[in-house]
């Protein structure tokens, strides 16, 4: 049974969250500009055996606006996440983060390692994502051309951007555009999932989006990766243009005893393109590394080796 609630964060901002299921806690953190809908398939699957929490960042979805735009940092996201876990009375949780949510859960681990059962970074970078966005660093320089006009002329710029988004997100443009650019895998993604994302972007406070993107680019959790001691499963997309595969491989290489899943032909939206593959791999990871952990570096014996599985053929 699902239950929705709100909790006051450290500065009084109301943060919305939803819980579903009973059992060990899993908490999923969104990407920038996204609400909880990207986790629908994961919630449906794991709420049969876990208590799954999804929530909205401030200025996103059903959460309230913060007192200002300057505070939209990864450190603030981590403090809001703490408020959600406290509100849900969850002492520890397996934390999942998609896209910018990867930085959120890594920053939370930096602040509260004792509250993390495991970390599952999904299709995201550990820091400074614009340095590698679409396989180039040009966007970290172009970002300023959009950021400063947004705050100097908020009314005019937001009106112009929303007019452009209305055209880009129309049925006549969005779906063919997604196919042509390769930003999503059109053979796997469902139209309804793409439109949920596009519809949410239309309602977003664009100044909040730009401010959070600025702080996202300024943040890096690289220094703590070698110090992580909880189980980690890094999930990457083979064709992710937003977070190139090499970034996920680098993160996997820097985190001791971490595991890596590469989703074949997966884009940045692979968690809704191939949810069955992702959910099954997460289930295996939780069973072997969290619920029935094997000492790091030691290979798990198979049931056949233990004599508990009959030979066939």
Encode pLDDT of 104-136 as tens digits. 999 999 999 999 999 999 999 999 999 988 777
Is the pLDDT reported for residue 202 higher than 80?
A: no
- Report whether 29 contacts 122 (CB < 8 A): no
Six-digit token pair at 49?
């055996």
- Beta-sheet pairing, 25-29 with 93-98: parallel
Which residues, in sequence order, are CB contacts of 174 under 8 Å at separation 6+? 168, 194, 195, 198
CATH topology of domain 2-291: Rossmann fold (3.40.50)
Is the pLDDT reported for residue 6 higher than 60?
A: yes
Tokens 């996201």 correspond to 77
- Report whether 277 contacts 188 (CB < 8 A): no
Where are the domains positioned within the chain? 2-291
For position 302, what pLDDT does the model report?
41
Tokens 């943060």 correspond to 15
| Distance in angstroms between the alpha carbons of the first and the last residue of the chain | 45
How are strands ordered across the β-sheet holding 2-8? 2-8, 14-20, 51-55, 25-29, 93-98, 116-122, 233-237, 259-263
Is the pLDDT reported for residue 306 higher than 50?
A: no
Is the pLDDT reported for residue 57 higher than 90?
A: yes
Single pTM value for the model: 0.84
For position 2, what pLDDT does the model report?
84
Instruction: Kindly report which listed range (72-86, 225-239, 282-296) carries the lowest average pLDDT score.
Output: 282-296
For position 305, what pLDDT does the model report?
39
Is the pLDDT reported for residue 170 higher than 70?
A: no
Q: What is the pLDDT of residues 244-281, one digit of tens each?
A: 999 999 999 999 999 999 999 999 989 999 999 999 99
Measured CA to CA, the distance from residue 306 to residue 228 in angstroms comes to 32
The mean pLDDT of 70-91, rounded to a whole number, is 97
Is the pLDDT reported for residue 51 higher than 80?
A: yes
Is the pLDDT reported for residue 309 higher than 60?
A: no
Is the pLDDT reported for residue 73 higher than 60?
A: yes
For position 143, what pLDDT does the model report?
65
For position 156, what pLDDT does the model report?
59
The mean pLDDT of 70-78, rounded to a whole number, is 96
Measured CA to CA, the distance from residue 135 to residue 130 in angstroms comes to 9
| Comparison of pLDDT for 155 and 137, the residue scoring more | 137
The mean pLDDT of 278-286, rounded to a whole number, is 98
| Comparison of pLDDT for 241 and 10, the residue scoring more | 10
Give the residue from 190, 152, 194, 193 showing the smallest Cα distance to 169. Answer: 194
What is the pLDDT of the chain when averaged over all its residues? 85
């Amino acid at each position: 049974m699902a239950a929705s609630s709100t909790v006051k964060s450290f500065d009084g901002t109301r943060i919305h969250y939803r819980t579903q299921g009973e059992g060990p806690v899993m908490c999923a953190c969104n990407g920038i500009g996204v609400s909880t809908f990207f986790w629908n398939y994961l919630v449906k699957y794991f709420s049969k055996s876990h208590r799954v929490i999804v929530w909205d960042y401030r200025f996103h979805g059903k959460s309230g606006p913060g007192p200002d735009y300057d505070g939209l940092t990864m450190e603030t996201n981590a403090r809001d996440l703490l408020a959600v876990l406290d509100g849900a009375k969850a002492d520890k949780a397996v934390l999942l983060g998609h896209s910018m949510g990867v930085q959120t859960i890594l920053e939370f681990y930096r602040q509260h390692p004792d509250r993390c059962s495991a970390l599952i970074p999904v299709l995201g970078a550990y820091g400074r994502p614009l340095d590698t966005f679409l396989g180039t660093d040009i966007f970290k320089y172009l970002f300023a051309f959009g950021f400063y006009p947004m705050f100097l002329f908020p009314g005019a710029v937001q009106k112009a951007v929303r007019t452009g988004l209305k055209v880009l997100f129309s049925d006549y443009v969005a779906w063919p555009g997604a196919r042509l650019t390769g930003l999503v895998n059109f053979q796997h993604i469902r139209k309804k999932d793409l439109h949920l994302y596009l519809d949410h972007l239309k309602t977003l406070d664009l100044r909040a989006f730009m401010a959070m993107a600025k702080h996202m680019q300024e943040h890096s959790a690289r220094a703590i990766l070698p110090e992580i001691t909880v189980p980690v499963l890094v999930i990457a997309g083979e064709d992710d243009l937003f977070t190139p595969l090499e970034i996920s491989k680098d993160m996997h290489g820097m985190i001791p005893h971490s595991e890596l899943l590469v989703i074949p032909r997966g884009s940045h939206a692979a968690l809704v393109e191939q949810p069955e593959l992702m959910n099954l791999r997460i289930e295996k990871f939780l069973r072997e590394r969290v619920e029935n952990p094997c000492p790091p570096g030691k290979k798990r014996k198979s049931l056949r080796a233990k004599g508990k599985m009959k030979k066939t053929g």
